[in-house]
Amino acid sequence: MDRFRTIIEPFRIHAVEPIRITTREERAAAVEAAGWNLFALHADDVLIDLLTDSGTGAMSRDQWAAIQHGDESYAGSPSWFVFLESVTELWPFRHVIPTHQGRAAERILFSVIGGAGKVIPNNTHFDTTRANVEATGAEAVDLVIAEGRDPAAIHPFKGNVDVAALESLLAARAADVPVVFVTVTNNSGGGQPVSLENLRAVRAVCDRFGVPLFLDACRFAENAWFIKAREPGQADRAIPDIVREMAALADGMTMSAKKDGLANIGGWLATNDDALAEACRNVLILTEGFPTYGGLTGRDLEAIAQGLREVVQDDYLRYRIRSTAYLGEALDAAGVPLVKPFGGHAIYLDARALLPHIPALQYPGQALAVALYVEGGIRGCEIGTVMFGRHPDGTETPASMDLVRLAIPRRTYTQSHIDYVIEVVGAVASRASELRGFRMVEPQPAALRHFTARFEPLS
Ligand code: F0G
């Protein structure tokens, strides 16, 4: 296989979903009606949807077959035991608590262990993780290595935790730290992996201060593939083996099965701590459901169980990581500024570098995301000053970066779809100086404004 350069999708198409070809005029009208906010579009008006890789992938024939086995018993469903066996095959934690998605696991965990005066370190908190920490009054601290904050810095494990910074935080405040988190891969830092060596070092520091270590494991299989490909001594290991070593280094995890569960919905919280599990199950019953289904149907549990068996296969992961890099390499060759090295699930365009004539407070990421939609019907996601620029006191400052994330749904688009994306991004980049910024319509939404804000183009 390695003799040939073409990336073969390791599947053939079994059921097709039509996508609707629109004209430039139709798209210009649709985005204007949406207040120039791509979240407000009808998805029917989108040709290639790269808004997120969460819950948007294709399920396999065997997942759809597993759905037919779904048993909807309220308590003790056989589907629960199928799910539990599949989860613990990779993540042998004593307690597994199913939830409807990742943020539900976060909410339950932090409502039990968070609270005012507490501080939660992470390499980089994902936005829902940070929001769930802060909602309890606790403080969320990001401690990724310095390379992880520089879009152009090349490092094989740019998601690694700054162990010295963690050590000094714990030396000063260990009693206030109920858990240390590591996000694999580090989504908010560009989908960058964490090495086993770094996880071992974090574990050693946690042990020294008696603090548990949890993983936010949404993209664990992609992280394990990067370990196999990049970490000395790991090349010959099987992916499930690497995953089990990640599990052995942790005391628990939160998970969104919408990513490396290869499912459209679902998640879980896992821990080895009996008292913590009991407290979390009590919250679960209040808000999500009985402990053998969480917020899920039996058929969802079956789809996740099968997804977990598929996501750790070499053919799938080789294709997954290579096909994402293929998009990055082509855009890089075309001179489009990008976050490097390329992450596992997405390519991040550096809108601030591409559009230096648009000040950050006129939202270069928004300008680029809208242009990609109008030009070719591609929907990406601004990750920049629109998303992070507003502060609780109502003031606004530039975010640290203005990026547009092109997230790749799993097993959904073919290489020709991606070739089309490459052409469209190239066409927009070649007329970058013509793009104009945006103004946000007042009054702005009070929180998470990027989801519902409306914009006006500046002339
Ligand atoms: N943690 C990480 C690292 C995530 O990327 C996400 C979701 C979550 C937690 C929350 O999981 O959506 O199931 O509640 N990320 C999606 C994204 C939404 O587009 O990156 P959830």
**The ligand 1 atom nearest the CA atom of 128:** 10
Collapsing DSSP to helix, strand or coil, 272 comes out as coil
From CA 147, how far away is CA 164, in angstroms rounded?
14
Which residue of 51, 56, 123, 128 sits with most ligand 1 atoms within 8 Å of its CB, as the best mutation to test the pocket?
Answer: 128
Q: Could you identify the residue written with the tokens 């071992």? A: 200
Pairing of strands 346-350, 381-383: unpaired
Counts of helices then strands in the chain (DSSP H, E): 16, 14
The closest alpha carbon to 158, from 150, 170, 166, belongs to 150
Q: How far is the CA of 61 from the centre of ligand 1 (A)?
A: 25
State the residue for tokens 């401690």. Answer: 143
What are the E-state strand segments in 229-311?
252-256, 267-271
Binned at pLDDT 50, 70 and 90, residue 394 comes out as confident
Residue 61 to residue 356: CA distance in whole angstroms: 47
Residue 276 predicted with pLDDT over 90: yes
pLDDT band at 281 (very low <50, low <70, confident <90, very high): very high
- pLDDT recorded at residue 447: 77
What one-letter code names the amino acid at 125?
H
Q: Return the pLDDT at 289.
A: 96
Distance from C-alpha of 403 to C-alpha of 436, rounded to nearest angstrom: 16
Give yes or no for residue 234 CB within 6 A of ligand 1: no
Q: Which atom of ligand 1 is nearest to the CA of 185?
A: 3
pLDDT for 209-227, tens place per residue?
999 999 999 999 999 999 9
Report yes or no: 282 and 232 within 8 Å, Cβ to Cβ. Answer: no
pLDDT at 199: 98
**Residue whose CA is at the smallest distance from ligand 1 atom 16:** 54
pLDDT value of position 393: 83
Which ligand 1 atom minimizes the distance to the CA of 52? 19
Q: What are phi and psi of 192, to 5 degrees?
A: -95, 145
Q: Is the peptide bond before 18 cis (omega within 30 degrees of 0)?
A: no
Name the residue with the closest Cα to ligand 1, atom 8.
Answer: 102
The band of 459, judged by pLDDT with boundaries at 50, 70 and 90, is: confident
pLDDT at residue 397 tops 70: yes
Of all residues in the chain, what percent carry a pLDDT higher than 70? 100
Q: How many whole angstroms from 359 Cα to the centroid of ligand 1?
A: 29
pLDDT band at 152 (very low <50, low <70, confident <90, very high): confident
The pLDDT-based confidence of 388 (bands split at 50, 70, 90) is confident
Give yes or no for residue 45 having a pLDDT over 70.
Answer: yes
How close is the Cα of 342 to the center of ligand 1, in Å? Answer: 19
7 C-alpha to center of ligand 1: Å? 27
Amino acid at 197: E
Protein residue with its CA nearest to atom 11 in ligand 1: 102
Q: How far is CA 210 from CA 5, 140, 205, in A?
A: 49, 19, 9
Average pLDDT taken over every residue of the chain:
96
* Contact (Cβ atoms closer than 8 angstroms) between residue 128 and residue 103: yes
Please compute the mean of the pLDDT values over residues 134-162 and round it to a whole number. 94
Percent of the chain with pLDDT over 90: 92
- Among 232, 404, 190, 221, residue whose Cα is nearest residue 321: 221
Point out the ligand 1 atom lying closest to the alpha carbon of residue 51. 19
List pLDDT tens digits, range 153-206.
Answer: 999 999 999 999 999 999 999 999 999 999 999 998 889 999 999 999 999 999
- CB of 100 shorter than 6 A to ligand 1: no
pLDDT band at 423 (very low <50, low <70, confident <90, very high): very high
List of domains in the chain: 24-53+314-457 (3.90.1150.10), 61-311 (3.40.640.10)
Alpha-helical (H) ranges within 252-297 are 274-287
CB-CB neighbours of 79 under 10 Å: 26
Counting ligand 1 atoms within 8 A of each CB, the residue from 101, 259, 287 with the most, and so the one to mutate, is 259
Q: Is the pLDDT of residue 391 over 90?
A: no
Q: Is the model more confident about 109 or about 1?
A: 109
Q: How far is CA 149 from CA 116, 161, 162, 403, in A?
A: 28, 12, 11, 13
Give SS3 for 421: helix
pLDDT tens per residue, range 48-92: 999 999 999 999 999 999 999 999 999 999 999 999 999 999 999
Q: Answer yes or no: is the C-beta of 320 below 6 A from any ligand 1 atom.
A: no
Residues 238-245: contacts with CB under 8 Å, at least 24 apart: 239/312, 239/313, 239/314, 239/317, 240/89, 240/90, 240/312, 242/196, 243/90, 243/91, 243/312, 244/90, 244/91, 244/92, 245/196
Query: What is the per-residue pLDDT for 1?
Result: 53
Question: Cis omega (within 30 of 0) on the bond before 185?
Answer: yes
Quick one: tokens of 390? 């507003």
**Any idea of the CA torsion for 65, 66, 70, 75, to the nearest 10 degrees?**
170
Alpha helices in 174-218 (DSSP H): 196-209
Is 52's C-beta closer than 6 angstroms to any atom of ligand 1? Answer: yes
